[in-house]
Structure 1
Amino acid sequence: MSQSQSGDHYAAMQAGFHWLVPRHFNIALACSARWAALPGAAERVAVIEHRVGGKPATYSYAQLQAQANRLSNALTRLGVRTGDRVAIVMPQRFETAVAYMAVLQMGAIAMPLSQLFGPEALEYRLQNAAATVAICDEGALDNLLAARDTCLALQTVIGLGAGAERADHEWHALLAKSRDRFAAADTLADDAAVLIYTSGTTGPPKGALIPQRVLIGNLPGFVCSQNWFGFDPTAPERASRAVFWSPADWAWTGGLMDALLPTLYFGRPIVAHNRRFDPLEAFEILSRHRVTHAFLFPTALKAMMKAVPHPRPRHALHLQGLMSAGEAAGDAVFAYCRKELGVVVNEMFGQTEVNYIVGNCAMNDHRLPGVGWPARAGSMGRGYPGHLIALIDDRGEEVPVGEPGEVAIRRTDIHGHHDPIFFLGYWNNEAATRAKFTGDWWRTGDLAVRDAEGYLWYQGRADDVFKAAGYRIGPGEIENCLVKHPAVLNCAVVPKPDAARGALVKAYVVLSPDFVAARAMQAGAEGHFESTLIVTLQEHVKGKLAPYEYPKEIEFIEQLPMTTSGKVQRRVLRLQEEERARAAGVL
């Protein structure tokens, strides 16, 4: 059976794809100004702000562009020029989208910063980037002002919401003095647009300088993973009815480049929710706003799966496309999404520096001919059209099928054309940029195995994989097995130093709410409850994986250390184990 007959159109899609990157390109013009210039812009919804227990606030593309123009004029008066860095320390809300559009259309550089950052984290990034202006709301104002004294380049703070009078300028007053017309900069596709800091999974954060063209590089992966985002290639005149939502923070690559910007690029509404993720509230958002497409990271999907095992009797779901990234979702989550959410989850892999490069493309709408390839549970997928992906060894040579190698992407596609997905380099760190390349290959630092059909299977960060008693251990498979047990909400597997075997497999486990409640009821016998559960979980893994893979030690914790982008920081736990081993004289 041919690939086409089997519903696998990967080879044809990759061979037939060609990049169309104009010499001049500006993200804000593509995402806002062009829609605002069309008839009906005042009715075309751009942002839907979800309000818990209240009526949502909706904002049109006409409002988005008018407010962006006002802010661009205000920033110009404040001295912001092409190439200046403007920090945006804002959550999911309409004004955040306005800030991005305003900064980008000026040719300045938007610098997303998470509201979760404390003063030291803000200070490091603001100083490193020499940001001249910072825009924030009440959620970050205290920490930003605490960090300001040592940030000599930071001239202006613009505040929004409660306490904004402590900033140099209050948002609404500043914009009220500005015109709603602005002549956008004529930027080149290669001009810098965003300075976004890596999540710090493997070391100190580095500023990745992203050009305007990167949005174009993201689009093939976005439409492939999002079931063509509501567009019908057989009837292109038919407007998409897509509504997008993701809890991913718009201050990190997944929220900005995989949710906010591509949704606006296609002129559709995105739901903004300015609260901590809650699995029950997630179902309310999906149902209430008739969300058709979503990006939900595995941690969120696991929490939803545990909180509401059978959602459709309680919630009207309209999902057509679902992408997941950040960690391997695993087959338990895959099965839940297909059976209970009514959609195949397309796992995706990317990085801040080279985003949306690998993934799946299961088409939940079977009316789309010649499109897509099957998603395989637990697989990262294949290189998206336009991206040439290989697994390489330390010498830069491609490894054989079935052997682990480092995921790498070539500067040029299969036709020899430059891939627009590449960042410009690390901010003021050319040595670090060069160190990530072997010839024309960008090395991601992530390990995977390729099967005979070209699907990649994630093995973990290069420094997450370890040896225990001579066996090579990848944490992902063990974590995926553990989370299938009803007691486990989330988990992380790391090596524990051991004098005899080099390392033992150790699992840190966050209990599901039901088991937290059950443990609390065991007054005076919590230790027995935990020791019994440890044996149960060990036997659970032994029955499904190789004998050497089961965790010899399990520690229960309330929450795992996470990056602001939702990734488990195994490095933190690994260093903790090493410190404990040194204190015990093992190291």
Structure 2
Amino acid sequence: MAVDRYTALYKAFRWQVPPDFNIAEACCGRWARETPNSPALIVESEFGGSMQHSFAQLQRTANRLSNALVAQGVRRGHRVAIVLPQRFETAVAHIAIQQIGAVAMPLSLLFGAEALEYRLRDSGTVLAIVACEALPALRQAKPRCEALRRVIVVGECTAEVSPALEEIGWIDALQAEEARFKSAETLATDPALLLYTSGTTGNPKGALIPQQALVGNLPGFIASQNWFGFDPEDDDKPSEAVFWSPADWAWTGGLMDALLPSLYFGRPILAYQGRFQPAKAFELMARHGVTHAFLFPTALKAMMKAEPRPQRHRLRLQGLMSAGEAVGDAVFAWCRDELGVTVNEMFGQTEMNYVVGNSHAVWPARPGSMGRPYPGHRVAVIDEQGRVCAPGELGEVAVHTRDAHGDPDPVFFLGYWNNTAATQTKFTGNPSDSWCRTGDLATQDADGYLWYQGRADDMFKAAGYRIGPGEIENCLVKHPAVANAAVVPKPDAERGALVKAFVVLAPGRVGDAALVAALQAHVRERLAPYEYPKEIEFIDTLPMTTTGKVQRRVLRLREQALAEASAAAAVAA
């Protein structure tokens, strides 16, 4: 049984945020001076072969890019888009943009022209750094993005770069620039990043993230990754730590939970440019000696089903964090018993990331729990009126803008870009001293552990019972035939809605009537009678966000559309 040191650590923690803070200096500049030859990035391509880059190399290349950006007219406060995968140039771009005092806006390679156009127009982006793969979509979007003046293209498509379209190749942009640059001085509260939310309930909103938000992330990163070994008071960084996550660096999970915190502590991060595959994940972690990782529950589920004996890979994992969805006790047990490491679940949002989670080396992790508020963050479950709920009572997870000592919490976003109304709605009162709502439902027990119940808009009623999809999905995944599952309401004239499950089968399994009956019995035996899925549909893949979350809304709207079409056909007949 792990020793529970949570209460003492939480009470003793105090924020120490310097008034002047810059992400580029904290994540690269100081290391380039102190340990210039230490590895910063290990980059492996999808086709094999890897290359290591030191902090000195990262800094010199970032200096050249900073000079190039200034030559192209980029100034403090300007928004610069980064449409790149996990690669050396991506890290360079972030450091270079922060050195100018500009605002980095990472965007996913998966975005089409319409998605790119909305974000580029809304943000008033002046320059974009784009991978070859994204160039066609960007070219479609650019004519309607008035502020976008120049595009720097990264990759092997140099011959396709068009000066007539205000495009310039990466090498051409940097080769004439000096490897020295005087970094701008920034306040901790100055804007650093513009991260757009997924837009599941309307147009995407741009969350403006300050420089100090990285500091706000650090307690959670240290705790969830067991970053300082088994003694959190040891201030020596791990000597041979290597971090890896398949999370896209264009999103909060990849950027603020992986890339920037790793560099902040002067340790290397592995960048892999290929698609996630379970077998490849084991191979990468074994070959590069990965000690710390961030893996989404969907990735862990796939790895669990694909590899019954993961210890044969001789992994060196010391810390493992997961977020995005509830891990569930089946995956939790597999990580502990087969991977040999306790997974620390974490919860956060783009607007205030890394606020709740576990740290099994410091306090006991409870399977299925989101964990406790990390030191420095004041988190509670509140009702619709903004009152703190009693232990065990369902409510909305909220984070207070001031910590337990009354000091400002640096983890918060500055507000939504050009959307004051949405910013105000996010808070229960004055944003400088109030609760910030997350839209996620949970209960909190007497020991402070939070238990996730789902998004507020994922909950539904069936036959008068309130249903949370997470518990049913977790139960289904425990069945050996199920690789993944999503539960949504299906409209029903008598009950209002019935429970429907979409199931992705494990390799080698066949979906038939016998398996439907077996899965229904599997759930009925373990959960309440009203929770078992009355209908099961087998599906090749679930709709997912690029951050690894199941898009239940897509499935729910599909069921609504089918029900409406069926009703209309019945009337017409």
Shorter chain as denominator, the TM-score bin is: over 0.9
| Cα distance change of structure 1 residues 569 and 415 upon mapping to structure 2, 3 Å threshold | same
Residue 538 of structure 1: aligned partner: 520
1:397 matches 2:393: no
- Matches of 2:235 and 2:189 in 1, distance apart? 30
| Cα distance change of structure 1 residues 63 and 6 upon mapping to structure 2, 3 Å threshold | closer
- Matches of 1:243 and 1:23 in 2, distance apart? 31
3-state secondary structure, aligned to 1:444? strand
| One-letter amino acid matched to 2:547 | S
Residue 71 of structure 1: aligned partner: 65
| Cα distance change of structure 1 residues 237 and 148 upon mapping to structure 2, 3 Å threshold | closer
3-state secondary structure, aligned to 1:438? coil
Shift of 1:161: 1.4
Per mean C-alpha deviation after superposition, the further-off stretch among 185-194 and 482-491 is 482-491
- Matches of 1:233 and 1:270 in 2, distance apart? 21
Q: 1:427 aligns with which of 397, 417, 422?
A: 417
Of all paired residues, the percent bearing the same amino acid is 64
Deviation by residue 1:105-124 (Cα, 9 ceiling, x = unmatched): 11000001000111111111
- Matches of 1:425 and 1:398 in 2, distance apart? 24
Residue 455 of structure 2: aligned partner: 461
3-state secondary structure, aligned to 1:543? helix
Shift of 1:201: 3.2
Residue 341 of structure 1: aligned partner: 339
Q: 2:369 aligns with which of 379, 382, 385?
A: 379
- Matches of 1:565 and 1:45 in 2, distance apart? 27
Contact 1:201/1:563 (<8 A) preserved: no
Q: 2:446 aligns with which of 452, 457, 468?
A: 452
Q: 1:105 aligns with which of 86, 95, 99?
A: 99
| Cα distance change of structure 1 residues 230 and 157 upon mapping to structure 2, 3 Å threshold | farther
- Matches of 1:233 and 1:494 in 2, distance apart? 41
| One-letter amino acid matched to 1:340 | E
1:327 matches 2:321: no
- Matches of 2:489 and 2:202 in 1, distance apart? 18
3-state secondary structure, aligned to 2:311? coil
Residue 180 of structure 2: aligned partner: 181
Deviation by residue 1:276-318 (Cα, 9 ceiling, x = unmatched): 10000000011000000000000000000000011112x1100
1:166 matches 2:161: yes
Per mean C-alpha deviation after superposition, the further-off stretch among 349-358 and 568-577 is 568-577
- Matches of 2:20 and 2:226 in 1, distance apart? 29
Contact 1:337/1:344 (<8 A) preserved: yes
Contact 2:370/2:451 (<8 A) preserved: yes
Q: 2:111 aligns with which of 86, 100, 117?
A: 117
- Matches of 1:53 and 1:123 in 2, distance apart? 31
Shift of 1:6: 6.2
Task: Report the RMSD for the aligned CA atoms in angstroms.
Answer: 1.5
3-state secondary structure, aligned to 1:513? coil
3-state secondary structure, aligned to 1:489? strand
- Matches of 2:47 and 2:212 in 1, distance apart? 40
Contact 2:244/2:270 (<8 A) preserved: yes
Shift of 1:52: 4.9
Shift of 1:499: 1.0
Residue 41 of structure 1: aligned partner: 36
Which runs of structure 2 are paired with 1:301-312 in the superposition (5 Å)? 301-312=300-311
- Matches of 2:368 and 2:237 in 1, distance apart? 34
- Matches of 2:489 and 2:358 in 1, distance apart? 31
Deviation by residue 1:464-516 (Cα, 9 ceiling, x = unmatched): 0111000010000000000111111111111111111111011111111221x
Q: Count the aligned residue pairs.
A: 560
Shift of 1:453: 1.4
1:411 matches 2:393: no
1:220 matches 2:219: yes
Deviation by residue 1:54-85 (Cα, 9 ceiling, x = unmatched): 43110000000000000000000000001100
- Matches of 2:477 and 2:324 in 1, distance apart? 16
Shift of 1:452: 2.0
| One-letter amino acid matched to 1:175 | L
Contact 1:248/1:254 (<8 A) preserved: yes
Shift of 1:37: 0.8
Contact 1:479/1:492 (<8 A) preserved: yes
1:549 matches 2:531: yes
Contact 1:231/1:239 (<8 A) preserved: no
Deviation by residue 1:225-278 (Cα, 9 ceiling, x = unmatched): 001255855654575321100000000000000000000000000000001100
Contact 2:67/2:181 (<8 A) preserved: yes
1:15 matches 2:11: yes
Q: 2:90 aligns with which of 82, 86, 96?
A: 96
- Matches of 1:233 and 1:408 in 2, distance apart? 26
Which runs of structure 2 are paired with 1:419-568 in the superposition (5 Å)? 419-439=409-429, 440-515=434-509, 519=510, 529-568=511-550
| One-letter amino acid matched to 2:23 | I
- Matches of 2:520 and 2:373 in 1, distance apart? 36
Residue 157 of structure 1: aligned partner: 151
Deviation by residue 1:334-357 (Cα, 9 ceiling, x = unmatched): 000001111000000000001000
TM-score (normalizing by structure 2): 0.96
| Cα distance change of structure 1 residues 236 and 428 upon mapping to structure 2, 3 Å threshold | closer
3-state secondary structure, aligned to 1:227? coil
Residue 354 of structure 2: aligned partner: 356
Residue 368 of structure 1: aligned partner: none
Contact 1:32/1:101 (<8 A) preserved: yes
3-state secondary structure, aligned to 2:310? coil
- Matches of 1:452 and 1:58 in 2, distance apart? 48
- Matches of 1:239 and 1:577 in 2, distance apart? 50
Per mean C-alpha deviation after superposition, the further-off stretch among 214-223 and 52-61 is 52-61
Deviation by residue 1:187-239 (Cα, 9 ceiling, x = unmatched): 00000000000122333211000000000000000000001255855654575
- Matches of 1:204 and 1:448 in 2, distance apart? 26
- Matches of 2:2 and 2:170 in 1, distance apart? 55
Shift of 1:454: 1.3
Contact 1:229/1:240 (<8 A) preserved: no
| One-letter amino acid matched to 2:5 | H
| Cα distance change of structure 1 residues 375 and 238 upon mapping to structure 2, 3 Å threshold | closer
Contact 1:467/1:502 (<8 A) preserved: yes
Contact 1:402/1:450 (<8 A) preserved: yes
| Cα distance change of structure 1 residues 16 and 128 upon mapping to structure 2, 3 Å threshold | same
3-state secondary structure, aligned to 1:486? coil
1:569 matches 2:565: no
Shift of 1:162: 2.7
| One-letter amino acid matched to 2:36 | A
| One-letter amino acid matched to 1:139 | E
Contact 1:50/1:285 (<8 A) preserved: no
Contact 2:94/2:104 (<8 A) preserved: yes
| One-letter amino acid matched to 1:330 | G
Residue 584 of structure 1: aligned partner: 566
- Matches of 1:195 and 1:442 in 2, distance apart? 19
Contact 2:46/2:273 (<8 A) preserved: no
Residue 257 of structure 1: aligned partner: 256
Shift of 1:534: 1.0
- Matches of 1:51 and 1:506 in 2, distance apart? 40
Residue 366 of structure 1: aligned partner: none
- Matches of 2:117 and 2:240 in 1, distance apart? 42
TM-score (normalizing by structure 1): 0.93
| One-letter amino acid matched to 1:25 | F
- Matches of 1:469 and 1:181 in 2, distance apart? 68
